[in-house]
Chains A and B, each alone.
Chain A
Amino acid sequence: KAGVTQTPRYLIKTRGQQVTLSCSPISGHRSVSWYQQTPGQGLQFLFEYFSETQRNKGNFPGRFSGRQFSNSRSEMNVSTLELGDSALYLCASRSTVGGYTFGSGTRLTVV
């Protein structure tokens, strides 16, 4: 059974640019969550989607947005990138009864 797939694995962007990250959940999982991981702040919740609806959102500025498609794949977008957005962005999928399964993440570096 394939795990959670995140693309790309690594990304380097310039301040002011925007970026889109992709996540394909485990087949059959309809819930997809996004987390930001940094050495200073640790793992912080960004948002969660279920059947194309955002059910919860973390305390991040509006530059961070996401969406989920009918096939449960999800994307997150960060506009007007800042140096502080450099982080590992993790996607997790979840079945209705199980725990969260995380992908290996996308390492975003903003220069």
Chain B
Amino acid sequence: QQQVKQSPQSLIVQKGGISIINCAYENTAFDYFPWYQQFPGKGPALLIAIRPDVSEKKEGRFTISFNKSAKQFSLHIMDSQPGDSATYFCAAEGAGSYQLTFGKGTKLSVIP
């Protein structure tokens, strides 16, 4: 059972555009929602994370929007750059579970 559904699988965005990746979860016990960026040959790197007590969090060009009632959260990358081309994963963790449940990933390509 896939507990975190991520879409789209792939995304092509023009340089300077906005990249939007969406995730939906089923388990209401999740209370920590991070986004990871992974380049080929590297491990995932934490980009930004949010807890359900806030609806939005912004760090530089990256913003998480969180909708608790809909059990959805999304990553917005403003002013997308070719260097942002990577695979992005959403994840969720329940309190005391000590494990991340990941979405299947979105391969982002930012074209000049």
Contact = CB atoms under 8 A, between A and B. Distances in A.
Given A99-B34, A99-B49, A43 B99 contact: no
Tell me the dominant secondary structure on chain B's binding face.
loop
Nearest to A54: B98
Tell me the dominant secondary structure on chain A's binding face.
strand
A92 B44 CA distance: 9
A102 B44 contact: yes
A48 B99 contact: yes
Contacts, number: 49
Given A42-B104, A99-B34, A99-B49, A58 B99 contact: yes
A48 B89 CA distance: 20
How many residues of B sit at the interface, in one of the four size bands?
Answer: 20 to 34
B18 interface: no
B69 interface: no
A55 to B, nearest CB: 5
Interface of A: 4, 31, 33, 35, 42-45, 48, 50, 55-56, 58, 90, 92, 99-105
